[in-house]
Amino acid sequence: MLCLTLTGSDVQESLNQYRDHADAVQMVEVRADLLSCVDEQKIVQLVQTIDVPKILTCRRVRDGGRYKGSERSRLQILERLIPLGFSYVDLEDDVKRPELDALAHEHGLKIIRSFHDMEGVPGDLYTRIVKLHKRGDIPKAAVMVRSINDAIMLFKIEKELRDIPEKVIIGMGDYGIPVRILYKRTGSLFTFCSPTGTSAASGHLSPEIMHDLYHSDRVTPETRIYGIIGNPVMHTSSPKIHNPAFERIGLDAIYVPFLVNDVRNFFQLADLLSIQGFSVTVPHKQHVLPYLGKISREVKLIGSCNTVLRYNTLWKGVNTDFYGFLKPIQEELDGQRIRKAVVIGAGGAARAVVWALRNYYCKVVILNRTEATAQKLAQETGSSWGGLQEIDKITGADLIVQTTSAGMPPQEEINPIETYCFDGHEIVYDLVYKPKRTRFLQKAEAAGCKLVYGMDMLVAQGILQFESFTGSTFPDDLR
């Protein structure tokens, strides 16, 4: 079940939030600590209007909430609200008030006995959950996930604590996002989300994301898991390419972002969750290479891998940037050939671009801020090289490709070849996809050049990944 934490500062705002998201959620949490005034009559109105199970919570600051008053007055608030028609009450594990437990049971509420660790995942996590369960309640652990190893600990709960059928497991922070999306794989009864534009806790996603994009509530043990690894990774648009396409072809599959600090540990998680394949982004395109039992010709040439697939008992690496880069220019070229291309940058993306162009016997000049890196790539690929200042000496280029991270935040004001005057005949391609029209592309457009956007490449390489993952053609209407 997906539980919406109402973050409104009054009952009316909370009701509006519920109405906006009612189709996506099966429960709500009323957080008395977020209300500016706890008015019992209004809360009765809220409880009676919302026709799904409701959790009553009043969270202290030290547990990630906003209640700043004394513990005595907090428990008094809970005592006043318990009889108003809630289905659950959340009581922290250190609250030892048998009369509050008795009041909850008398009014038919189940007790969620929670503990919060805002610093990390405690080493005695499993024993603490078992202890809470022994008190006869639903145990809830909300812990800050700080690494892939922490996420592994949470996903192992499903198997380790299978004897506790009703439990709630929450992974906070960016490393915890897969734990929230795949909450069913931890054995968690439900997970939380916040109304669009608000966040009640670190890592809360909106109901649109949890329900419309990921369909988290549909995940079963049979659902095939795919994903993307990177650091950072939460800005990625790839889930919006893959998840709707899985749905369209009727495949029970989900594509999830994984913030990864250590690739070796991610491969352990991939085995634990039976992940079927994943995309790889900065900075892990080279880090995955030692774990691959088989690699494609393109990965061998480029020396980096952006797609990993399960292949019998091995992992196979392919690189869809190679063909994904070419696809949008082939559409622009309309049968013509590129004779001379200038590639700005010599990082991981440039390697795929240069090899793809050299594969078509195109002459390539690589210009990079750090000249030695340009030289190395040029020597491997039989290209020419220089520093960025060499751009002003370039003539007769059919294609100029910008492959550096200049142009994307926080470098959105930077055009790495600011002094260059486009003659208007070049095709100008920027791999940066956010923003769509970088400063570099704006200048090329003003000179009348044909533009190719990074988003076109992102989609083209994503479609190729989808086809490698599923063996199915990408749906036409989603292209």
Q: How far is the CB of 336 from ligand NAP (least distance, A)?
A: 23
DSSP structure string for 59-98: -BGGGTS-B-S-HHHHHHHHHHHGGGT-SEEEEETT---H
Binder of ligand NAP out of 458, 463, 465, 470 (CB under 6 A): 458
Distances (CA, A) of 132 to 91, 94, 142, 167, 332: 11, 10, 13, 10, 63
Q: Is 433 in the site for ligand NAP (CB under 6 A)?
A: yes
Binder of ligand NAP out of 34, 138, 181, 346 (CB under 6 A): 346
> 3-class SS at 454?
helix
Q: How far is the CB of 455 from ligand NAP (least distance, A)?
A: 7
Q: How far is the CB of 410 from ligand NAP (least distance, A)?
A: 10
Among the residue ranges 26-34, 217-225, 362-370, 464-472, the one whose residues contact ligand NAP (CB under 6 A): 362-370
Q: Is 399 in the site for ligand NAP (CB under 6 A)?
A: no
Q: How far is CA 129 from the centre of its chain?
A: 28
Closer to ligand NAP at the Cβ: 8 or 227? 227
Residue owning tokens 């063909």: 323
Number of residues that bind ligand NAP (CB under 6 A): 27
Do residues 36 and 45 touch, judged by C-beta distance below 8 A?
no
Taking residues 44 to 83 in sequence order and writing x for each that binds ligand NAP by CB under 6 A, - otherwise, the string is: ----------------------------------------
Closer to ligand NAP at the Cβ: 291 or 433? 433
Residue 385 burial (CB count, 10 A): 22
Q: Is 345 in the site for ligand NAP (CB under 6 A)?
A: yes
Among the residue ranges 3-11, 110-118, 126-134, 365-373, the one whose residues contact ligand NAP (CB under 6 A): 365-373
Q: Is 201 in the site for ligand NAP (CB under 6 A)?
A: no
Among the residue ranges 28-36, 160-168, 229-237, 346-354, the one whose residues contact ligand NAP (CB under 6 A): 346-354
285 is catalytic: yes
Site residues (CB under 6 A) for ligand NAP, limited to 264-293: 282
Q: Give the residue from 277, 248, 279, 321 showing the smallest Cα distance to 470.
A: 277
- H-helix or E-strand spanning residue 180: helix 177-181
Binder of ligand NAP out of 403, 438, 465, 470 (CB under 6 A): 403
Closer to ligand NAP at the Cβ: 196 or 237? 237
Residue owning tokens 């890592």: 203
Closer to ligand NAP at the Cβ: 16 or 237? 237
Residue ranges with strand state E in 306-449: 307-311, 314-318, 340-344, 363-368, 384-387, 399-402, 427-430
Total residues belonging to the chain: 479
Q: How far is the CB of 213 from ligand NAP (least distance, A)?
A: 20
Binder of ligand NAP out of 75, 414, 447, 451 (CB under 6 A): 414
> 3-class SS at 451?
strand
Q: Is 405 in the site for ligand NAP (CB under 6 A)?
A: yes
Q: Which of 54, 140, 167, 285 is catalytic?
A: 285
DSSP structure string for 244-287: HHHHHHT--EEEEEEE-S-HHHHHHHHHHTTEEEEEE-TT-TTT
Q: Is 299 in the site for ligand NAP (CB under 6 A)?
A: no
Q: What share of the chain is helix, strand, coil (3-state, %, to 5)?
A: 40, 20, 40
Q: How far is the CB of 280 from ligand NAP (least distance, A)?
A: 10
Q: Is 348 in the site for ligand NAP (CB under 6 A)?
A: yes
- H-helix or E-strand spanning residue 111: strand 110-117
- H-helix or E-strand spanning residue 139: strand 138-144
HSE at residue 109, side-chain half, CA atoms within 13 A, is 26
Just list the catalytic residues.
Answer: 285
| Residues within the interface to ligand NAP (CB under 6 A) | 282, 321, 345-350, 368-370, 373, 403-406, 408, 411, 414, 416, 431-433, 454, 457-458, 461
